[in-house]
Amino acid sequence: MKKAAFQPSFFINNRKKLAVLLPPKTLALFFANDRMPRSGDQHFLFRQNSDLYYMSGILQPDTILAVCPDHPNPRYREILFIQHADAVREIWDGHRFSSKEATAVSGVETVIHVDEFNQVIDDIAYPSNYIYVNVAEDIKRDNELVTYDLRMINYLKTRFPLHQYGRLAPLMASLRFVKYSEEIHVIQNACEITGKAFNRVLSAIRPGMHEYEIEAEMTCEIMRNGASGHAFLPIVASAKNACVLHYNVNSRLMQEGELVLLDFGAELSYYCSDCSRTIPVSGRFTPRQRQLYEAALRVFRKIMHIIRPGFSIVQINMQAGRFWEEEHVRLGLYSMEDVRRQDPDQPLYRKYFMHGVTHSLGLDVHDVCDRYQPLEPGAILTCEPGIYIPEEGIGIRLENDMLVTPSDPIDLMKHIPIEPDEIEERMKKPTPCPPPA
């Protein structure tokens, strides 16, 4: 995607909403993601920082957005810092925005080259008492990587040691949690494409295929429908691979009688969809597979009814544990007596269901939000129960994306087959024509 999908009014409105949440005399700073080196002169595909995108629509690296609503000089209330035009670099990497183009996308009137940030920062920091920065708090920091936002907060703290610093993350989480109609529309379209990819898998899959061939079918359908690609690394996990929750090697040969778990979604205009289905490789569930599948589907339906205002993500997850407990007992995995004796901190259901049953969905596949906050109409959440029995080499997960309304949610994936009978029906392969007599 080369251009933002939304009109500048979308980004202008987001900045207005942020300004209301900021304390008086605050400077808020958003930094781009880094370009991540891959090898030699290659980089991984660049992805803009989601908060910066949400506030500006600018997809270029080396971008900074400053929002300083109370600045005495109106010119400095919103500033976009962007890369210099560079004739040589543009031969290799393509066009860079002029100031005018950046204004047309973002609605920010003041556009300055990013090289001048170090001079301009004095003018916007001095009249401010607070500096709020968009350190991404939800990303996995399981390495020593010092990202642009972390480098800049160190720089700012050295330069302005007596300012008070604050977190943009909780404010951004509350803004991004409830989606506007434009965002809902894009996510719904992403869900449509995801459904097409699933239907293609249903007609293509056969015993003797590799998991990666299914990935290729999905990728093809996603790309040819105009999505930018997968919203996350797709999972094609057959047989016991389905018990590895983030399996994405997708290399195994699939055989007759096995299940394959698919967890995938198209990304469209920077917004994600997220779908899971578990289907029989040969087109028919065995009685045991169907028994477990139907248990997952019952939990799916029960969870769906509590994805509504009044419940928080944390509460829905606790309820999912109760629903699974009933199903596990019914399946004979343990007894109610075992449940009564269990350590409440280590509930038995976690042996067979060990992940969250819902998460917010948006610009990020696991979108930022406060997990303790009750849901509100306009939020989009997944509904994704699963059951994993490594001893039997079986893992089943079902997942649809739900738009929260004042009552029951709208299932944005209701067009994607989920009933076991419908899955089997759609998987019936046309019988080859008999040879002419």
**Closest separation in Å from C-beta 238 to Mn ion:** 19
User: Nearer to Mn ion by C-beta: 64 or 262?
Assistant: 262
Rounded Cα distance between 129 and 182, Å, is 35
Residue nearest to Mn ion (CB): 274
CB of 234 to Mn ion, least distance (A): 12
- The distance of closest approach from Cβ of residue 386 to Mn ion in the complex, given in angstroms and rounded to an integer, is 10
Closest CB to Mn ion among 156 and 268?
Answer: 268
Compare residues 128 and 382 and give the one whose CB is closer to Mn ion. 382
Which residues contact Mn ion (rule: CB under 5 A)?
274, 382
**Least Å from the CB of residue 265 to Mn ion:** 8
Q: Nearer to Mn ion by C-beta: 278 or 382?
A: 382
Q: Which is nearer to Mn ion, 27 or 320 (CB)?
A: 320
Q: Minimum distance between the CB of residue 176 and Mn ion, rounded to whole angstroms?
A: 17
Distance, CA of 109 to CA of 286 (rounded, Å) = 63
Cβ atoms of 130 and 25 within 8 Å: the answer is yes
Instruction: Give 101-149 as a DSSP string.
Output: HHHHHH--SEEEEGGGHHHHHHHHHTT-SEEEE----SS---S----HH
Q: How far is the CB of 277 from Mn ion (least distance, A)?
A: 12
Query: Residue 116 Cβ, how far from Mn ion at the closest point, in Å?
Result: 42
DSSP reduced 3-state for 88 = helix
User: Which is nearer to Mn ion, 215 or 274 (by Cβ)?
Assistant: 274
Closer to Mn ion by CB, 252 or 359: give it.
359
Cross-sheet strand order for the sheet of 130-133:
110-113, 78-82, 64-67, 26-31, 130-133, 164-167
In the complex, least distance from residue 63 CB atom to Mn ion, rounded to whole angstroms: 29
CA 254 to chain centre: 28
In the chain, how many H helices and how many E strands?
13, 19
3-state secondary structure 310-355: CCCHHHHHHHHHHHHHHHHHHCCCCCHHHHHHCCCCCCHHHHCCCC
Distance from C-alpha of 48 to C-alpha of 54, rounded to nearest angstrom: 10
Instruction: Name which of 306, 261, 286, 284 is nearest 398 in CA terms.
Output: 261
d(CA 195, CA 167): 38
Beta bridge partners of 81: 64, 112
Q: Among residues 31 and 300, whose Cβ is nearest to Mn ion?
A: 300
Greatest CA span in the chain, whole angstroms? 92
Q: DSSP H helical segments within 205-344, as ranges?
A: 211-224, 287-304, 313-330, 336-341
